[in-house]
Amino acid sequence: MVILFALYPLAAAAAVVVLDRLVPLGLVTYVTSSPTFSAALSAVVLAAIIVAALRQRNNVVLLSAWLFLFCGELILTLGYVMEPFVPPGSHWIEEVFEIASFFPLLVFVAYAASPMRLLMLPRARMRMYPVLGALLLIGAAAVAFVPWVVGLESTRLTSTPESLLHLPQAVLDIVLLEPLALVLLAIGVSPSGLPYLFLGVGLMLLLPEDLLFGYGILRDGGILGSYAHLAFVVSQLYILNGALLACVRFRPEPDAEPAQTG
């Protein structure tokens, strides 16, 4: 089941793209821009997170953690559900929601990644994650600004204040959200932490979503914008999978050992 959860989001996205190319019915556009589809997917993800939170009701820390995840996911998805209804050129509204979602997600990671759990990681692995985070930050900055460094003169001439402001968004996301994703991946390497591994992958996929969306603005929309939102759909499917695994596999951790009787 874990392998199925790991593969089907990517397979579903690839199938949508291939089917849309073979039968041009606008399937990619529907999946990525339909408020109905976005609302339905968000409702399923949020419901799964609530059920996962209730599974931790015997542990107030983990219960609070999953409820903060619910709040962060709710804020994040509100930006995408509202996007079709905002005026053209107002994509910054979605970005405000994305930045606001960072704060409850930060509390979720702080609660879920207890110091003891992190200290149990091998020392070599603990040294690896800061290096990986620095490489991701440098890579995101380089990729985000490549069009402005190497050319695309026509794009520069037709650029708008919105496109100029959006490019640093990918770097801002990796500064805020990607370290949280790295922590989730770190604590997801153990069998009991497997749900966090999928949640970390879901947050990681917000980076390519932002990069593709930024290039879509630079190129005046087009297929890149659709692929950007498709990346967000895939990220939500991984978050859904993490919540589902928490529902069926993750057992509540008791607050204290029961008193001995005798």
* Cα end-to-end distance, the chain, whole Å: 43
Alpha carbons 235 and 78: distance in angstroms, whole number: 15
CA 197 and chain centroid, separation = 12
Instruction: Indicate the residue type of 135.
Output: L
Burial 35-64 (b: 16+ CB within 10 A, else e): eeebeebbeebbebbbebbebbeeeeebbb
* Domain range list for the chain: 2-248
Determine the pLDDT at residue 261. Answer: 42
Determine the pLDDT at residue 85. Answer: 73
> Going residue by residue through the chain (262 aa), what tens digit of pLDDT does each one get?
788 888 899 898 888 888 877 877 777 777 777 778 888 999 999 999 999 999 988 888 889 999 999 999 999 888 877 776 766 666 667 777 878 888 899 889 888 876 545 555 566 666 676 777 677 667 766 666 666 555 555 555 555 555 555 556 666 676 777 778 888 887 787 667 889 989 999 988 877 776 666 565 555 545 555 677 788 889 999 999 999 999 886 544 434 344 444 3
